[in-house]
Amino acid sequence: MGKARIIDGNEIAAKVLAEVKSETEGFAAETGRPPGLAVVLVGDDPASSVYVRMKIKDCGRCGIESFSHRLPAETPTEKILDLVNRLNGDDKVDGILVQLPLPEGVDTISVLDRIDPAKDVDGFHPINVGRLVRGDHAVLMPCTPSGVMRMLDESGVNPHGARAVVIGRSDIVGKPVALLLLHRHATVTICHSKTPDLPGVVREADIVVAAVGRPLMVEKDWVKEGAAVIDVGMNSISREESPEVITTDPTRIRDFEKKGYTLVGDVSPGVVDVAGWYTPVPGGVGPMTRAMLMANTMNAAKWRAG
């Protein structure tokens, strides 16, 4: 029987969505329109299609109007930029999300840089990245890192003075989560594929954030007694073949399991025997990422409305 407290991402995400819903009602009453999120999907990647459907469903649940734009995979970059320009100028649109990855041949950086920073609900625009580095409060932050911070806060895990180890240095998870922990006065170490003695480094951490993409990599004996272990990883493992879709949607997870697929994180669930807190996969960080997108859209709407 493990002793770690389980941080329930579904429960905290439901709380965030309820907060957003009450804010969208107030916003609509004041401004005469709901907040709006434009979702752009280029191509027909099955995983991306599932993510987009889930995001549109979340909008419906919390009173955000969604505008879905689907373009064929062979759409040239210029045409996508035209669409982004139009969405930048559309007053009903408060947030613009371009689903990644874009098809090969599309200039992803140009597309992301074209989004109005005030509508950049993914927080990937260089202006928002700069504000995040500077520690500005009113900034659209990347959704997964802000979801991780909310999970720590809701669980009473205070980063102030803690040793934090982030495994992974991607622009969308590792680096921003490390910055957020730093701004909250943790002493942060960022690890990556060239880090020597990774288990030894992780063993020093009071807070571990694993964002690697390697199934069950972090073992129980890497973790310090009582540490908070946040598992961002989403990996599907199968005995026979890899599934084409990875999701945190419970219905689809049951579906995978029937087909012999299982969704696992970067952390072995055995860490519950030593950790103080643990986020499960599925049902941990995944639902929080979705909820924080809704919170970002609400914030973008408020800030735009002044």
* Residues lying near ligand NDP in the complex (CB under 6 A): 144, 167-170, 172-174, 191-195, 198, 211-214, 232-235, 285-286, 289
Give the C-alpha separation, 196 to 193, whole Å. Answer: 8
Closer to ligand NDP by Cβ: residue 93 or 132: 132
- Least CB distance from residue 28 to ligand NDP, whole Å? 28
Give the C-alpha separation, 265 to 244, whole Å. Answer: 17
Residue 45 tokens, joined: 């990647």
- Sequence-ordered strand ranges (E) for 45-169: 65-71, 95-98, 163-167
| Percentages (nearest 5) of helix, strand, coil residues in the chain | 45, 15, 40
Closer to ligand NDP by Cβ: residue 143 or 157: 143
Count the alpha carbons within 13 Å of 168 in the hemisphere toward its beta carbon. Answer: 22
Closer to ligand NDP by Cβ: residue 27 or 261: 261
- Least CB distance from residue 84 to ligand NDP, whole Å? 22
Closer to ligand NDP by Cβ: residue 75 or 268: 268
**Which residues are the active-site residues?**
55, 99, 122
- Least CB distance from residue 72 to ligand NDP, whole Å? 26
- Least CB distance from residue 245 to ligand NDP, whole Å? 12
- For residue 215, cis peptide bond before it (omega within 30 degrees of 0): no
Residue nearest to ligand NDP (CB): 170
Give the C-alpha separation, 151 to 145, whole Å. Answer: 10
Count the alpha carbons within 13 Å of 28 in the hemisphere toward its beta carbon. Answer: 14
